Amino acid sequence: MSSLHVEKRYGAAIWWMVQGKECEISIEQRPHYCDRGNFIAKLHPTPGSKLALEIDAHDGWPRYFFDWDRMFLEIEAWLKKRGQMP
Percent over 70 (pLDDT), the chain: 85
Q: What is the pTM of this model?
A: 0.84
C-alpha closest to that of 59 among 76, 42, 73: 42
Where in the chain are the domains? 6-81
**pLDDT tens-digit series, residues 25-44:** 999 999 889 899 999 999 99
